[in-house]
Every structure is written in structure tokens, then in C-alpha cells.
């Protein structure tokens, strides 16, 4: 275990604080819901993050009646959502960065493109004539 200045709690203190049996904490660990760190003597130590996870587990089981299989699914979904949110945030930062580079960079990229065109070539500035519209319409007789 690394000493980082964070607070860690032994299983007995956590069990007493949350009014649960230490075997319940061991069960949550066996089921993969909690992953406390260990000392060299193999004593479980619970960090603040572990306690937050435990509070979520207890809320789901006590308040909402979710079983442990459901808790596992919910926690996995939360992790995936948090990962996707980070990816979206990174993408948004990339887009902001690209937008901040400005139109000058865009014009420079267009001038070095394989097919040269200006932005005005890509936009139709006149409306199609009524004859062109009528060519696509067939009338039954």
C-alpha cells in the first residue's frame, strides 16, 4: 500500500460507522463491489472512495431494494457512463481547440487541398428555376 496522506479505515471501523457486519463488507469484496487496499499484513483498508462506493451500495440495497446482481450492473453502467462522459468532454475540448484556430487556418487548409475550391463554390447562391422544379414532377393524364 502506498502512503499518500489519505485517510484509510479498518474493516471494524467501517462496519461500525455504517452499522453493518464485517462479513457483509467481505461479501461485497468477494462479489467485486468493493476493492479495499491491503497492508503488508493483509489487513483491509478502506479509502474515502471505497466509503463513497459503499454508501452507493447501501443506498441501492437498503433504500431501493436492489439485489447484489443489480447493484453490480448499476455500478458497471455508472463506470461506463463516466468513461463516455470523459470521452465526450475530451472531444468537446478538441472541437473548441479546432474552432479557436480560426478561419485563417481553414483558408490555408483549403489552399493546400488536393481539389481546390473556395467556400463560396460549395454553397448555391441562386434558387433553381421553376422549369427545373417541374422537370422532376410527372403529371398523370
Q: Which domains does the chain have, with CATH numbers?
A: 9-102 (1.10.1660.10)
Give the residue ranges of DSSP H helices in 7-140.
11-17, 22-30, 48-58, 68-100, 102-111, 130-135
What pLDDT does 131 receive?
Answer: 63
Span 45-83, pLDDT tens digits: 999 999 999 999 999 999 999 999 999 999 999 999 999
Mean pLDDT computed over 82-111:
82
Candidates 113, 109, 84; CA nearest to 98 is 109
Mean pLDDT computed over 114-134:
62
What pLDDT does 15 receive?
Answer: 98
What's the rounded Cα separation, in Å, for the pair 1 and 21? 25
Amino acid at each position: 500500500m502506498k502512503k499518500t496522506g489519505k485517510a484509510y479505515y479498518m474493516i471494524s471501523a467501517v462496519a461500525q460507522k455504517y452499522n453493518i457486519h464485517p462479513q457483509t463488507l467481505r461479501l461485497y469484496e468477494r462479489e467485486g463491489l468493493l476493492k479495499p487496499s491491503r497492508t503488508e499484513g493483509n489487513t483491509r483498508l478502506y479509502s474515502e472512495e471505497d466509503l463513497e462506493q459503499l454508501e452507493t451500495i447501501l443506498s441501492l440495497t437498503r433504500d431501493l431494494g436492489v439485489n447484489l446482481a443489480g447493484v453490480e450492473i448499476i455500478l458497471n453502467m455508472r463506470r461506463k457512463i463516466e468513461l463516455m462522459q470523459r470521452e465526450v468532454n475530451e472531444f468537446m475540448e478538441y472541437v473548441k481547440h479546432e474552432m479557436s484556430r480560426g478561419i485563417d487556418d481553414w483558408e490555408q487548409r483549403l489552399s493546400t487541398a488536393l481539389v481546390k475550391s473556395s467556400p463560396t463554390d460549395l454553397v448555391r447562391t441562386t434558387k433553381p428555376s421553376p422549369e427545373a422544379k417541374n422537370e422532376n414532377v410527372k403529371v398523370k393524364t
